[in-house]
Amino acid sequence: MSTLISGSTGDWEVVVGLEVHAQVRSESKLFSGASTRFGAEPNSQVSLVDAGMPGMLPVINRECVRQAVKTGLGLGAKINRVSVFDRKNYFYPDLPQGYQISQYTRPIVGEGSLRIVTADGERVVGIERIHLEQDAGKSMHDQDPSRSLIDLNRSGVALMEIVSRPDLRSGAEAAACLRTLRTLLRFLGTCDGNMQEGSLRCDANVSVRRPGGELGTRCEIKNLNSIRFLQQAIEYEAVRQVEVLEDGGAIIQETRLFDADRGETRSMRSKEDAHDYRYFPDPDLLPLELSEDFIAGIAASLPESPDARRNRFVAQYGIGEAEADFLVTEPEIAEFYEALADGRDARLAANWLTTELFGALNRAGLSLSKSPVDAGALGELIDLVADGTISGRSAKDVFAEMFETGQAAETIVDARGLRQLSDGAAIAALVDAVLAEHGDKVAEYRSGKVKLLGFFVGQVMKQTRGTANPQLVNEILRGRLAG
């Protein structure tokens, strides 16, 4: 599938690079002890450092450094033993210091890569760098049109800015890249990836060029807060640029915003260059030096990556690749599956989880963490089918009721009398009664009308309200009719 855009003057190639701001999972901020909890009262989590009070000194949070290194290692990236914090100077009311502490020429993490899977196959996307920086506060203009309010709770929260190379060639690829990165961050436990709460935000640098030609002038689309918007914004922006160029115009380097309601990007401000920020090393902070031991300790405790886990699922549990891909989209799903597969038929477990449970969750609009049926409860249901206590058919009804009421499988099975009748002698007695009642049909069967077996099975099932073990019923019927 080609990702080129065909214009009236020929084909155009889209070139995209991402800058992802990922909020570091940490109890406290990058340079202060204030809490990072989401949803607190405005300005209730602000230390004097975060408020930019004169004379306050920043102190680096070791946990945030650890998380950035962990993320770098998860991306197979070079960890820089020495990195430097710089001041990025600009004025904005929600930035009380008058500068953001960030990293510029010497970031904590250097080059790495991320493997993504798209409809066109596998791609490896280059990661240029990750640097640590502070978040700004939040300006609120909507509550009262006569004034703007500032909430500094987010001021000073640690962000990892993860910068990709311009290796992406479509909105769909960019979406796959962000999705894969978010999954990785969640598996590493270094960012919760929650885009609604703003803990993962994405800027996209978009340009177009003749296929394989020189890079065009780019526009930066700021603060995309959903994967779907990222894709839509890139697709809109690429077509806009092609139209400008084909009309003989030029692309102006600028910052643009995506209007989700109208599905279009629009100009926000002309793009500032790095020199506008007057970066210089922050004199309040020493260069950050990491020991080999510190890095090695983090490397040793690195959790299994989503890729590794997916491959292990295929090998260890014998499930399909597409199923395994789905099971590693979230750490919670992978953990649920492992708990469910433990000591059971792993393929059956995968099938119950992906088809029945996720079907019900999707219909109810719930995430797995809100599921009324946990791995233990679902496992008990699967066991009841496996040991013949209930039939596969009744299991689906039992599951529906478990999902509805949160009751245990056995409770429902008993209340509804669904225990499968697997007592051979009892079934044989029922079979004999049915055959005695339908002597004419028995004669027809014996003279060659073997299709009637279904009729006899149906009669026995009816007598037991569907609870007779169908395999046993078939077996016994065949035996009796042959005699």
Q: What residues are paired with 300 via a beta bridge?
A: none
Residues 191-223 as b or e (16 or more Cβ within 10 Å = b)? bbbebeebbbbbbbbbbbbeeeeeebebbbbbe
Shortest spacing between CB 273 and Mn ion, in angstroms: 15
Bridge partners of 207, per DSSP, are: 15
Residues within window 403-462 making contact with Mn ion, judged by CB under 5 A: none
Q: How far is the CB of 20 from Mn ion (least distance, A)?
A: 10
Output the smallest distance, CB 257 to Mn ion, in A. Answer: 16
Q: Which is nearer to Mn ion, 128 or 161 (CB)?
A: 161
Report the nearest approach of Mn ion to the CB of residue 224 (Å): 14
Compare residues 90 and 294 and give the one whose CB is closer to Mn ion: 90
Q: What angle do CA 104, 110, 112 make, to 5 degrees?
A: 140
b/e map 281-313, b = 16+ CB within 10 Å: bbeebeebebeeebbeebeeeeeebbbebbeeb
What is the phi/psi pair of residue 164, to 5°? Answer: -95, 165
CB neighbour list of residue 479: distance below 8 Å, 6 or more residues apart:
none
Q: Between the CA of residue 456 and those of 423, 425, 460, 475, what are the distances in Å?
A: 18, 17, 6, 12
Give min distance, CB of 294 to Mn ion, in A. Answer: 25
Q: Which residue is nearest to Mn ion (CB)?
A: 161
Q: Which is nearer to Mn ion, 161 or 173 (CB)?
A: 161
Tell me the closest approach of the beta carbon of residue 161 to Mn ion, in angstroms.
4
CB 11 within 8 Å of CB 18: no
Site size for Mn ion, by CB under 5 A?
1
- Residue among 128 and 330 whose Cβ is closer to Mn ion: 128
Give the side-chain half-sphere CA count within 13 A for 298: 23
Neighbour-count burial for 18-53, b at 16+ CB within 10 Å, e otherwise: bbbbbbbbbebbbbbebbbeeeeeeeebbbebbbbe
* CB 255 to Mn ion: min, Å: 13
Continuous segment of H or E residues that includes residue 149? strand 149-151
How many CA atoms, within 13 angstroms, populate the side-chain half-sphere of residue 379?
14
Burial per residue of 444-456, b for 16 or more beta-carbon CB atoms within 10 angstroms, e otherwise? ebeeeeeebeeeb
Residue 215 host element (H or E) = none
Residue with smaller CB distance to Mn ion, 161 or 323: 161
- Cβ proximity to Mn ion: between 154 and 309 the closer is 154
| Least Å from the CB of residue 256 to Mn ion | 17
What x/- string results for residues 131 through 170 when contact with Mn ion is judged by CB under 5 A? ------------------------------x---------
Pairwise CA distance, residues 29 & 43, whole Å = 14
Question: Measured from the CB atom, is 7 or 281 closer to Mn ion?
Answer: 281
Residue 88 C-beta: closest distance to Mn ion, Å: 8
- Between 19 and 120, whose beta carbon lies closer to Mn ion? 19
338 binds Mn ion (CB under 5 A): no
Looking at beta carbons only, is 130 or 409 nearer to Mn ion? 130
Least separation in angstroms between residue 342's CB and Mn ion is: 43
d(CA 241, CA 233): 12
Nearer Cβ to Mn ion, position 90 or 358? 90
Nearer CB in complex with Mn ion: 66/222:
222
Dist. CA 417–CA 471, nearest whole Å: 19
Q: How far is residue 52's CA from residue 42's CA, in Å, rounded to a whole number?
A: 17
What is the smallest separation between the CB atom of 133 and Mn ion, expressed in angstroms?
5
Site residues, Mn ion (CB under 5 A)? 161
